[in-house]
Structure 1
């Protein structure tokens, strides 16, 4: 990890590196705040569906914006991963909802 930091600082400079690190931390913190506040206001199942849709959006965004190519194997793997997360989220949310009732 030490060499990764040194290489990144050498590539972009210390000011940009620290600035990017700050903004990444800030946006991740805000994401967690929004997710927590959302979970307090909606049903667990709704939150689970939103979480799965977020993952689909991130994958689609990376394909469109960064030009990532998807091979057949990668597409199948991504579909299996998203389906697994969706099924797990739905089951977990249903269990939590049943505990409340």
Structure 2
């Protein structure tokens, strides 16, 4: 598998994870706090984002932050925009 193909596959996986997280956010919270399932999903998002965008220093701690909806949503939106830009750039080349 080529490096570009692997990157596109991982970008797509990250995009899908973010979309699924947004749709089902309520299941990742227990009494307003991130539960263990939510932490697992954020960990996967953080590891993929860290590998795909190393210059931006993404990691699990940055994704989860203080565990608030606002913080996580903000970081996921930022990541989603990066992914869309990268997909657009890959199609234009």
Q: TM-score range by the shorter chain?
A: 0.3 to 0.5
If the length of structure 1 is used for normalisation, what is the TM-score? 0.32
TM-score by length of 2: 0.34
**Structure with greater helix share of residues:** 1
Greater length-normalized contact order (CA 8 Å, ≥ 6 residues apart): 1
